[in-house]
Chain A
Amino acid sequence: MADVKEIAIPVADPNDPYAIPAAMPSSADSAPRSFEVEMFPIPTRKQEDWRFTPVDRMSEFFNVFAPAATTTLDARYVDGSALDGAVTLEQAAMGEQESGSVSKPNDRVSAVEWNSSTSSWILHIRQDLDQPVLVRIEGNGLELDALHLVIVADDNVHADVIVEHAGDAKLAEGVEIVTGAYSHVSTTFIQEWSDQSKHVGNHRIRVGREATLRHAVVTLGGDVVRIRMDQDFAGSHGDLNMLGIYFVDPGQHIEHRTMVVHNEPECRSRVVYKGALSGKGAHSTWVGNALIQPTAPGTDSYELNRNLVLTPGAVADSEPNLEIENGNIVGAGHASSTGRFDDEELFYLQSRGISEQEARKLVVRGFFSELIEQIGIDQIAAHLMTVIDRRLAQGEDKPQVEEN
């Protein structure tokens, strides 16, 4: 059964009646949250949340399936050494330990993932870490598979986690992230799937009181990748930074949907997603939702999406949505733009001896480097730059798609 939430309608202060302008349920409240698949209709493009998604290319994720269990997960420190007591990795049954504790599935595919997964991986960070943890998730075939990963950070810890995805996969993935009070955590998810791979992801995130979370998603490959990220705060003064980078090749659909919920006072959120698209039929979608609830005075939120179209024929959908139910906030801004790497820029760089391929690399590196610098952790920034260079080099081997 769906969890029907009691909506506490805020009462306006007669001395400051505009502090709470809208005493009505928000649209997010009417969206179901449930572990039951049947609470969600089969996605069609007529539904708001699915209107940019090629649903016919991912219909295998719409009903509960028996997972192939071929996807492997391995966690160690980034230098290759084994995990110690500061961080542990174990498996638990679905719903045991912290799994299922961060909100609930919010659409059909996340409920399917929950009900198809046979167990959860629990990565539990108990102490400060000297170096990032690297979780490698490897797809080993195009059989349908499901994977559930929970990242738990205790109060006060400082830690960085990188989750890498590679190989062939048709993967429904559920991720829960819960950070403790006063913690400083970064989680970086990288998808370097093969061209045939499909990936449906659902991140449910809760940021601790006075905690800082930097959440980054870097999607560099896959036939269809759709990742939805829903977040809220466990207490006041939380700081959330969501960064995204994506590359879309001809025929690929790469979609990111962020849902930032300001439910606690004095929290700050920044969402910055940047994508590069190349060639015919390359399709990216970014939908950035931000909801500022009546319970969240002093909110400071901002979201930004930029797309760079490298060669003609690509489509970038970009949609920021803001829902503000509190008049007493610091800021709630959004921006979106799509630019084209045009012939004049290319000619200018070429006229200085830089080849067409090198020129595109230069522009793409420049486009993303600003964002990568923001990550602020040298090991992760260097790792990402390596991954992007690898991706750019890979583009050279592919036949260039005819422009028209």
Chain B
Amino acid sequence: MSTLEIKDLYASVETKEGRKQILKGVNLTVNSGEVHAIMGPNGSGKSTLAYTLAGHPKYEVDSGQALLDGEDILQMTPDERAKAGLFLAMQYPVEVPGVSMTNFLRTAKTEIDGKAPAIRTWTKELTEAMKRLKMDPKFATRSVNEGFSGGEKKRAEVLQLELLKPKFAVLDETDSGLDVDALRIVSEGVNRAKEANDFGVLMVTHYTRILKYIKPDIVHVFADGHFVKTGGPELADVLEETGYDAYLPEGASESALA
């Protein structure tokens, strides 16, 4: 049983217009096995929260903590956070030319586990995980994310989630850019990985449709850099009806439907 506890987190980004604070007092506790949906209008800071937790150099923490089983991950380098058990599935996975998926996955697995995986079981595990995600075996020999379509990149993220077995998974707009079939395959992958490893999930999304496949236990509304409302799955239904208008400046309108 693990706990991720975000306490009064403030974070900023350097822009052309100067330093801009995006996260303004984020508080959240996630336990193993829980699925939290973090929903909110565009520009509310949802993705910033995801990247700040993972340690992207663009975002600077002003104050606050993110305790993973009592250890403040915000004091760690991104690789130390991953080793501590945090995984970020990115909205736009980065291409790394020249590094094959196989080599990348094996290196990551070795680093996370602190020892190289046994070759035979590892190869089998990789092949089967790819098969379940309906990924062409030749992906393994291609460079990391290079030339992958949007859907292929998302599958590759979920593949890593399955193989690296984190304690907490942050899924940043994993549904974006996916058609219905791909959304189902990717969601099934997340559910399977969660079933196997019982990790906690922070699912950042603008739209409600992924919630049909990955059932949240708790739904949060995120606006203007912090959580403004928390409820059960029924809150997502309300958002589907009313959109985010209630959380936007007067006169603006944004739907939660894809």
Contact = CB atoms under 8 A, between A and B. Distances in A.
B82 A351 contact: yes
Interface in B65-91: 77-79, 81-83, 87-88, 90
A93 B94 CA distance: 59
B100 interface: yes
B11 to A, nearest CB: 15
A367 B79 CA distance: 22
Chain B CB within 10 Å, residue with most, of A353, A366, A369: A353
Contacts of A358: 107, 111
A370 B82 contact: no
A40 to B, nearest CB: 40
B133 interface: no
Nearest to B84: A353
Interface stretch (A125-133, A312-320, A340-348): A340-348
Contacts of B111: 352-355, 358
Could you say which of B82, B88, B112 has the most chain A C-beta atoms within 10 Å of its C-beta? B82
B239 interface: no
Given A350-B77, A353-B112, A353-B164, A366 B98 contact: yes
B108 interface: yes
Nearest to B112: A353
Given A344-B94, A348-B90, A353-B111, A362 B78 contact: no
Contact of A366 (B87, B99, B160): B99
A370 B146 CA distance: 15
B107 A351 contact: no
B64 interface: no
Contact of A347 (B56, B103, B112): B56
A356 interface: yes
B78 A366 contact: no
Given A358-B111, A366-B103, A351 B98 contact: no
Nearest to B113: A353
B79 A354 contact: yes
- Give the most central of B90, B93, B100, B104: most A CB within 10 Å: B104
A362 B104 contact: yes
A363 B96 contact: yes
- Main SS class of interface, B: mixed
B78 A347 contact: yes
Contacts of B95: 345
A348 B103 contact: no
Label chain A's interface by main secondary structure: helix
B105 to A, nearest CB: 8
A349 to B, nearest CB: 7
Contacts of A347: 54-57, 78, 94
A54 interface: no
Contacts of A333: none
Contacts of B164: 352-353
A345 B97 CA distance: 9
Contacts of B99: 349, 362-363, 366
Contacts of A351: 54-55, 78-79, 81-82, 87-88, 90
A366 B144 CA distance: 11
Interface string B140-184: 000110000000000000001000100000000000000000000
Contacts of B143: 366
Interface residues of B, number: 31
A348 B98 contact: no
Contact of B98 (A344, A349, A352, A367): A367
Contacts of A354: 79, 107-108, 111
A10 interface: no
A339 interface: yes
A369 B96 CA distance: 15
Contacts of B83: 353
A40 B107 CA distance: 53
Contacts of B160: 352
B108 A352 contact: yes
Which of B57, B88, B99, B164 lies at the interface centre, i.e. has the most chain A CB atoms within 10 A of its CB?
B99
A335 to B, nearest CB: 15
B107 A362 contact: yes
Contacts of A352: 79, 82, 104, 108, 111-112, 160, 164
B94 A348 contact: yes
B55 A350 contact: yes
B57 A348 contact: no
A127 B186 CA distance: 60
Contacts of A370: 98
A363 B82 contact: no
A93 to B, nearest CB: 48
Contacts of B96: 345, 348-349, 363, 366
Contacts of B100: 366
B71 to A, nearest CB: 16
Given A348-B90, A350-B77, A353-B83, A363 B98 contact: yes
A339 B107 CA distance: 23
A401 B106 CA distance: 29
Closest 9 CB pairs of A and B: A366-B98, A350-B78, A353-B82, A348-B94, A352-B108, A353-B111, A366-B99, A353-B112, A350-B79
16 contacts: A343-B57, A345-B94, A347-B56, A347-B78, A349-B108, A350-B77, A352-B79, A352-B82, A353-B83, A353-B108, A353-B112, A354-B79, A355-B77, A362-B104, A363-B99, A366-B99
Interface of A: 339, 343-345, 347-356, 358, 362-363, 366-367, 369-370
Given A349-B99, A352-B160, A366-B100, 17 more contacts: A339-B97, A345-B96, A347-B54, A347-B55, A350-B55, A350-B78, A351-B82, A352-B82, A352-B111, A353-B108, A354-B79, A356-B77, A358-B111, A362-B99, A366-B97, A366-B98, A367-B98
